[in-house]
Structure 1
Amino acid sequence: MKLKSTHEDFRVEEITSVRPTGGSHALYRLTKAGLGTPEAIAEVLSHWNIERRRISYGGLKDRHASTLQHFSIAHGPKTGFTDRSMQVEYLGQVHRPFDAKDIQANRFEIRLRKIAKKDVEQLDRNADWLKHFGAINYFDDQRFGSIGQSGELIGMHWCKLNYERALYIAMAEPNPHDRPRESEQKEILRNTWGQWEKCKEMLDRSHRRSIVTYLLDHPVDFKRALALVRLDLRSIYIAAFQSWIWNRWLSALIDRFNEQQTQRRLPSKSGPLSLPQLLTADQQSRWKSQWRTTLPLPSARQHEWPEGTLETLESVVAELGLAVRELRLKFPRDTFFSRGQREVLLFANGFESTWESSDPSSDPNSESVDWKLAFELPRGAYATMIIRQLFLDSIENGPESGPDEGPEENLETGAEDGPGIPL
Structure 2
Amino acid sequence: MKLKCLPEDFVVEEIAAVEPTGGPFALYRLEKRSLGTPEALQAIRRRWRLPQHAVCHGGLKDRHALTRQYVTIYRGPRRDLRQTNLTLTYLGQTERPFRSADIVSNAFEIVLRALTERQAKDVLNTVDVLATEGVPNYFDDQRFGSVGVGGDFIAKAWCRKDYERALWLALAEPNVHDRAREKRQKQILRECWGDWGECKRRLERSNRRSVVTFLADHPRDFRRALALLPKDLRSLYVAAFQSALWNRLLAAWLRQLCKPEQLVPVSFKLGRHPFPTRLDEGQRERLFTARLPLPSRRLRDVDPQLRPLLETVLAEEGLSLADLRIPYPRDTFFSKGMRRAAVRPEALSAAEDADELYPGRRRITLKFRLPRGAYATIVIKRLTEVGRRP
Normalised-by-shorter TM-score class: over 0.9
User: Structure 1 counterpart of 2:3, which letter?
Assistant: L
Of the three residues 330, 347, 351, the one matched with 1:350 is 347
Q: Deviations over 1:237-294 (max 9, x none)?
A: 000000000001111121223345485211112321012253xxxx512311211121
Q: TM-score, normalised by structure 1?
A: 0.89
Aligned partner of residue 183 in structure 1, secondary structure? helix
Aligned partner of residue 272 in structure 1, secondary structure? strand
Q: Which residue of 2 aligns with 1:291?
A: 287
Taking the aligned partners of 1:67 and 1:338, their CA distance within structure 2 comes to: 26
- Is contact 1:37-1:63 (8 Å) kept? yes
Taking the aligned partners of 2:191 and 2:176, their CA distance within structure 1 comes to: 19
Q: Which residue of 2 aligns with 1:172?
A: 172
User: Structure 2 counterpart of 1:161, which letter?
Assistant: K
- Is contact 1:21-1:94 (8 Å) kept? yes
- Is contact 2:113-2:358 (8 Å) kept? no
User: Structure 2 counterpart of 1:268, which letter?
Assistant: F
Shift of 1:22: 1.1
Taking the aligned partners of 2:24 and 2:162, their CA distance within structure 1 comes to: 42
Taking the aligned partners of 1:51 and 1:155, their CA distance within structure 2 comes to: 26
Taking the aligned partners of 1:85 and 1:56, their CA distance within structure 2 comes to: 19
User: Structure 1 counterpart of 2:218, which letter?
Assistant: H
Paired positions, count: 388
Q: Which residue of 2 aligns with 1:313?
A: 310
Aligned partner of residue 371 in structure 1, secondary structure? strand
Taking the aligned partners of 1:58 and 1:349, their CA distance within structure 2 comes to: 21
Aligned: 1:372 with 2:371 = no
Q: Which residue of 2 aligns with 1:419?
A: none
User: Structure 2 counterpart of 1:223, which letter?
Assistant: R
Q: Deviations over 1:65-92 (max 9, x none)?
A: 0011111111111111211111111111
- Is contact 1:55-1:74 (8 Å) kept? yes
Q: Which residue of 1 aligns with 2:375?
A: 382
Q: Deviations over 1:11-65 (max 9, x none)?
A: 0111112111111111111111011111111100110111012221111111100
- Is contact 1:248-1:271 (8 Å) kept? no
- Is contact 1:26-1:76 (8 Å) kept? yes
Taking the aligned partners of 1:211 and 1:32, their CA distance within structure 2 comes to: 31
- Is contact 1:298-1:327 (8 Å) kept? yes
User: Structure 2 counterpart of 1:287, which letter?
Assistant: Q
Taking the aligned partners of 2:374 and 2:276, their CA distance within structure 1 comes to: 19
- Is contact 2:211-2:228 (8 Å) kept? yes
Aligned partner of residue 53 in structure 2, secondary structure? helix
- Is contact 2:35-2:64 (8 Å) kept? yes
Taking the aligned partners of 1:185 and 1:291, their CA distance within structure 2 comes to: 46
Q: Where in structure 2 are the equivalents of 1:10-409 lying within 5 Å?
A: 10-261=10-261, 263-278=263-278, 283-292=279-288, 293-359=290-356, 366=360, 368-395=361-388
Q: Which residue of 2 aligns with 1:409?
A: none
The change in CA–CA distance for 1:360 and 1:312 in structure 2 (over 3 A counts) is closer
- Is contact 1:295-1:306 (8 Å) kept? no
Aligned partner of residue 143 in structure 2, secondary structure? helix
Aligned partner of residue 291 in structure 1, secondary structure? helix
User: Structure 2 counterpart of 1:251, which letter?
Assistant: A
User: Structure 1 counterpart of 2:213, which letter?
Assistant: T
Taking the aligned partners of 1:53 and 1:309, their CA distance within structure 2 comes to: 37
User: Structure 1 counterpart of 2:177, which letter?
Assistant: H
User: Structure 1 counterpart of 2:170, which letter?
Assistant: A
- Is contact 1:231-1:335 (8 Å) kept? yes
Shift of 1:327: 0.9
User: Structure 1 counterpart of 2:281, which letter?
Assistant: S
**More relative contact order in 1 or in 2 (CA 8 Å, sep 6+)?**
1
- Is contact 1:4-1:65 (8 Å) kept? yes
Q: Which moved more, 1:300-309 or 1:47-56?
A: 300-309
Identity of aligned residues (%): 45
Shift of 1:99: 1.3
- Is contact 2:57-2:71 (8 Å) kept? yes
Shift of 1:305: 2.1
